[in-house]
Amino acid sequence: MPRKSSAATAFQSSTATRIRPPDDLTGPERQAFVDLVLACRSDHFQPSDAPLLAAYCRAVVLEKAASAGLAEDRYVMRDGKSSGCLNVLAQATRIMSTFSRMLRLNPAGRQTMPPQSAELAPPVSYYERMTLEAKRDDAN
């Protein structure tokens, strides 16, 4: 039996436990989902977390867009009213805060996790990333 190199053992060998992004996520939302799933340990999320995680990723993208819109308006009021991006930014930030607690993504959530789960996620291979990013062809 050939000996494995240290580089080969550093990567996780299975993608079975990682949740895949829902098919309705596209573009930056899908990218946020994949990045977040790969940044956490493979057992951090369960399949039932996918809808909540998808909503969290939508809120992240919405918050980025609202921040950019607010910066474009130079944070000023127009016609005596604040920018509409301000309300969108506040809503997205509130949603992100709530969902990050539910998904144990914020520091307080990580403190309640068992010690072995609080470790950093091991490196992920490029092939595992490709597998998660690919859309499912289950419809055929």
Query: What would the pLDDT profile of 56-111 be if each residue is shown by its tens digit?
Result: 999 999 999 999 988 887 777 667 677 788 889 999 999 999 999 989 888 776 66
Closest by CA position to 63, among listed 91, 39, 84: 91
**Six-digit token string for 63:** 């918050």
* Side chain identity at residue 127, one-letter code: Y
pTM for the model stands at 0.68
* CA neighbor of 69 nearest in space, from 57, 82, 54: 82
Residue listed under structure tokens 């996780």: 12
pLDDT, one tens digit per residue, over 36-45 is 999 888 888 9
